Structure 1
């Protein structure tokens, strides 16, 4: 039984390690105080270009600004490309985007492009239409050093910027497999008391 529990905990630990680094950034641990303010950088281990602004749903015209919670980020007007970068690289699943309910110009599409540490293009989403209701813009880019987020014109809001789990490295996958094999081997029933007395 002791070996069974060791195998169980080892496997669980490896599974949790494989999932490390995943999660959505909803910006709700920051403070906007009812106005658009320059985004804190670095935030969550990522560098955010100076044209990102933080806001909350009490800002006039941004009542629809948050996908979850009350805070979101938005672009500075007149900025065509905004950046998010990291010196160590990250895996990016996507984010939620909408056009705020302001009286000014609002974006009608978003395009996300990703680059690696050598400034080589990883991929792009193409122009994804957005409107007053939030839309998920899927990216699924791995080993990203820099993201560029572009739009056609005007403002957009972004929330739940989602980092993806890293694909387990071969060594980690082997360890995971070994832990599972140990777990399965310890689940085999051993000899019973009756079996021992009959021999």
Structure 2
């Protein structure tokens, strides 16, 4: 009896876990017009519900030295050379999962590391990735920070490129998972009546 009861509860738990999946919103910048050059993304604010500071530049892989700038599609963003840090902010707050980074193939100074720091609405540090090395190959830098008011990306030197900026959404139940949950409940109720 107890074995069947626990087996039914295990089936129910599996149904619930199968029904909950994490979703993400990916900002790939490909819906913006880079006009074949590097141009401030600030003209597109807000983009993706976020405010991008004036030192972010939108680019396209046809710009010389930036053929490796995009992880997907052809557009990307990169940092302005004269600033050490660039920021993304939102008064509503957002959950940040990570983004793809690389050092561009330009002849000038290229970044060798970046650091992502997240701050809440009270300007308190939520967390940081610490220094993460980057190369001329795209790599995903994961950083799960929730309820971010301001995200600051700092480079050691020179330029970096970023693409597929990923926002983590709340986990939502899938219809199949809800069906499995309902089936588990019916089975559990049936076994209780039989006992």
Compute the TM-score of the two structures, normalised by the length of structure 2. 0.78
**What runs of 5+ residues in structure 1 fail to find an aligned partner?**
1-10, 191-199
1:5 maps to which residue? none
2:83 aligned residue: 79
Secondary structure in 2 matching 1:137: strand
Relative to 1, partners in 2 of residues 1:181 and 1:130: Cα closer, same or farther, differing over 3 Å?
closer
5+ residue gaps, structure 2, are 1-14, 191-195
- Describe the SS at the equivalent of 1:184: helix
* Equivalence for 2:130: 126
Equivalent-residue separation in structure 2 for 1:140 and 1:188 (angstroms): 37
Q: CA separation in 2, counterparts of 1:189 and 1:94?
A: 43
Distance in 2 (alpha carbons) for counterparts of 1:145 and 1:56:
28
State the match for 2:10 in structure 1.
Answer: none
- Give the whole-Å Cα distance in 1 for the aligned partners of 2:135 and 2:60: 18
Q: Normalised by the size of structure 1, how large is the TM-score?
A: 0.76
Q: Describe how 1:1-199 pairs up with structure 2 within 5 A.
A: 19=22, 22-39=24-41, 40-166=44-170, 182-186=182-186
User: Is the CA contact 1:75–1:155 (under 8 Å) kept in the aligned structure 2?
Assistant: yes
Q: Distance in 2 between matches of 1:34 and 1:181?
A: 51
Contact 1:99 / 1:132 at 8 angstroms: preserved in 2? yes
SS of 1:147's equivalent? strand
How many residue pairs are counted as aligned between the two chains? 169
Which structure is larger by alpha-carbon Rg, 1 or 2? 1
Could you tell me how far 1:166 is from its partner in structure 2? 2.7
Cα distance per residue 1:47-105 (max 9 Å; x no partner): 00010000000001101110111000001111111000111111101111000011111
Distance 2:180 2:148 in 1: 31
